[in-house]
Amino acid sequence: MSLSMNLEEIEAQARQIIEQVGATGPTQMGEVMRRPMPLMQGKADGKLVNQGVKELLAGKT
């Protein structure tokens, strides 16, 4: 199975979810992660999604 989403695409979608949730930091990682995983299943590596969300919530990107 080929996963088609790269980190930039994942982060773009994650930014939208973070904004919708109103997440402001890493303590809300679980709340944010619940939303993209069903949308990205089969399209993105879960580890990559986790990495992108973690970096966004930590303010690194």
pTM: 0.82
Give phi and psi for 16, each to the nearest 5. -65, -45
Radius of gyration of the chain from its Cα atoms, rounded to whole angstroms: 11
Residue 59: φ, ψ to 5°: 80, 20
The type of residue at 3 is L
Domains observed in the chain = 7-57 (1.10.10.410)
User: How does DSSP classify residue 60?
Assistant: -
- pLDDT digits (tens), the chain, 61 positions: 567 888 899 999 999 999 999 999 999 999 999 998 888 888 999 899 999 999 999 986 5
Contact of 59 with 28, CB cutoff 8 Å = no
